[in-house]
Amino acid sequence: MRSPLLTMSNLGEGQVCPTCGGAEVSPAGVLRRHHNGWLLVLGGWILLVLWNVARKEQVQCVRCDTLYYRETRLSPIARALFILFVLLALLGLGVKIFGPSP
């Protein structure tokens, strides 16, 4: 029997257990934050933080004990900002390489 203190409600609409359709979940583990060296070198701390926030969290269904991943509240926003920063960096690199020469 799980403690009610460990049970979390669903963070977003439509994020239910893929097996039984249950909405109540408990944390399945702490998100492991890995530090991608390439992101740190190429994009700095901003891209590294956005990468880590954009990751999905692993949860466990209270009814059927199924482990699955779901998005957090900030993951779609962080993913969009991450893609925006990468595209801006690539655009700047393209202008620097292929832009008009003096």
Higher pLDDT, 27 or 77: 77
At residue 87, does pLDDT exceed 90?
yes
Read off the pTM.
Answer: 0.58
pLDDT in tens, 10-52: 344 457 888 888 888 887 765 555 666 776 677 777 887 887 7
Show the CA angle centred on residue 33, arms to residues 85 and 77, nearest 5°. Answer: 35
Overall average pLDDT of the 64-74 stretch: 84
Domain ranges of the chain: 25-98
Handedness of CA 20, 23, 26, 31 (dihedral sign): positive
Please give the sequence-ordered ranges of beta strands (E in DSSP) within 1-102, or none if there are none: 25-27, 57-61, 67-70
At residue 76, does pLDDT exceed 70?
yes
